[in-house]
A and B are shown apart, each in its own frame.
Chain A
Amino acid sequence: MIWALVFLPLASALASVLIRSDRIRRAMLVATAAAHSALTGICWIAPPAVAPGAWVGLDAAGRLFLGISSLLFLAVSVYVAHSLGRESRGRQTEEDTGAVFVNAPEAVFTACLLMFLSTMTLVVASRHLGLLWVAVEATTLATAPLIYFHRQPSSLEATWKYLLVCSVGIALALLGNFLIVVASASADGSGGTLLAPDLVARAAQLRAPWLKAAFVFLLVGYGTKMGLVPMHTWLPDAHSEAPSPVSALLSGALLNCAFLGILRAHSICAAAGLGDFSGTLLAGFGLLSMGVAAAFLANATDYKRMLAYSSVEHMGVLALGAGLGGVALYGAMLHAVNHSAVKAGLFLLAGNFLAAYRTKSIARVGGGARRLPASGLLWLLGLFAITGAPPFGTFASEFTILKAAFAQGRTAVAVVALAALAIAFAGMSKAFLGMSLGRAPEGETSAPEREAASAVWPALALLAVSLVLGLWIPHGLQAVLVQAAHLLGGGAP
């Protein structure tokens, strides 16, 4: 079952290289995404049994993140099928930098997209930390070409930074894996393991110092991929240079995968009685990320970079929730769902803005609500969804995390977090209002444009998800969230 989830996209990736016709290839992309979602749905309804020693298997956390990734990919694939048609074939000029460039072949793009899906699936499904590592590194390699789709210097630079920073970081994570093996091996050096469940089970016998060192390496390594400050440096570049749907996937799905890696390590530490150690580290990085990201959001100039920094901020929220533990972990799980949906939706909308205004500069976009009636309005709603205003889902999750912070008596933490959120809101709202309200800057038309359904509906659907989650959490999801929270050593309200 799980292997089907992994290999189905892989197969169609190979196919997409062979297929000549763009139309068929796009159709196949959407079809694959749909099939993947369908299989995921089955996994949710009837979780496949897992053999004790198996390397792959879907526990609650896996199911949760698999669900997010699959759903996101479906929405994005619909959007991509449209936006690829929007891309011009020949040489084109980037308005901001004035660079002339051509696009990478669409076949390669589609293939990498599908490989990305398959590797992501492997990440969330692997119970063996070594396999997890392999999969995470594989996602990096699969996404690098996607970022370089627009073959222009800036994209190249972004790709290079992404590849180098992430590869180095993840290499450190590999070292962390080795240290875990050492920590778990018996006195004669045999019997070390990397199976997460076994490790949790044998947590008592693990060697504390080695485990600590291992966690540090894993945190720094996967934290690089997840975008925790100060390892986040690749993130704004990659997100701003990649095509918008790719940015959506990076923010909405990829970062979560890295987060899952950290969570696995954290749960092992927690089981081994080092929960305070790892929790403190996580919470610290969470607060740091929130604060620094807020500072960058306070005077953003490029709206895709702004969304990227907002992702950094929300990764901080996730890390904070995981670090606080207890109910906050449940909050973090819920927040992962909400953030992925909203952020992906926003990136897709940003794509529409970019297509209409041909610039990423906030100052040069205005009157969006007039020119792009649907996208402009959704953009405003997205502002409230991403900044944690009720009745959107982000409010519920952030409320849960903050309440946990207060309940644990960590008032200072909660106050800092609240301040960061407020600063971020002030910054983002200024940008968002400037873009969607008022009239277009001179030289730009304010005349309403006809927007294609496939360009609007994915974003609408994703925002709707977050709105629904703000008013009502379905029972099935609730169950998975609670299981996942308990599995990773947390609690639920």
Chain B
Amino acid sequence: MGNAIDILLVLLVLTDLVLLGSSRLRNAIRIVALQGLALGLLPLLAHGRGRLWPAILLGAGSAVLKGFVFPALLRRALRETRASREIEPFVGYIASLLLGVGALALSFGFGARLPLPWAAPSPWMVPAGLFSVWTGLFLIVARRKAITQVLGYVVMENGIFALGMVLVEAMPLLVELGVLLDIFVAVFVMGIIVFHINREFDHIDSDQLEALREGAP
């Protein structure tokens, strides 16, 4: 089933690229949801050997969270805002895409530099994961809205999740679930804060949050 995994990973990479290029928040949320659903399948495909149930549990959990719960949360926060639905980037979409391609190349390079000591389910695994982490970070840094930064965090998390799939069996289920729970709570709290921000500031441009800084001495 290697090629199935490959397909998923390609999907992951493609969604990342689309995210880099997309200008509408709603699309972005939809794409992240899709990504989450796709990754939900990964545990099943990645590791059949013996530990099926945990894999299923994990995949299902993450799929539900990232595919349905998070998007719902973010949409709610978005519905509250009277601000524009634009993503409002610091770095333009074209530039973002180009940078994205460069980053993809780099992540392949990195994968080559640190070859997995054993045969990974797919050669794409490490590069795709890294690329998605990079994408997440990029979205956080280069996009203006707080809500986009939450999206970026989720994407980054997806990347790490994908990398984690290389070694499901080494990570005890309990820990994985703990991780999942943490991420859930994190995104949940972030959602709440975005909600509050938007109520306090009547906009969710987190670049307006600059009251706390070191002025001139």
Contacts and interface: CB of A to CB of B under 8 A. Distances in A.
A associates with B: yes
A185 B117 contact: yes
B104 interface: no
B193 A158 contact: no
A168 B152 CA distance: 10
Interface string B176-217: 001101100110011001001100110000100101101101
Contacts of A299: 217
Dominant secondary structure at the B interface: helix
Interface in B69-126: 114, 116-119
Interface residues of B, number: 43
B56 interface: no
A193 interface: yes
B179 A133 contact: yes
Interface stretch (B3-11, B12-20, B162-170): B162-170
Contact of B211 (A131, A154, A175, A192): A154
B175 interface: yes
A213 B114 CA distance: 9
B60 interface: no
B182 A193 contact: no
Nearest to A152: B200
Interface in B111-144: 114, 116-119, 133, 137, 140
Contact of A163 (B116, B170, B193): B193
Contact of B186 (A141, A151, A190, A192): A141
A301 B186 CA distance: 33
B118 A185 contact: yes
A144 interface: yes
Contacts of A175: 133, 160, 163
A133 to B, nearest CB: 7
B118 A188 contact: yes
A171 B160 contact: yes
A178 to B, nearest CB: 6
A148 B196 CA distance: 11
A237 interface: yes
Interface of A: 97, 128, 130-131, 133-134, 137-138, 140-141, 144-145, 148, 151, 153-154, 156-161, 163-164, 167-168, 171, 174-175, 178, 181-182, 185, 187-194, 207, 209-210, 213, 236-237, 240-241, 296, 299, 301, 305
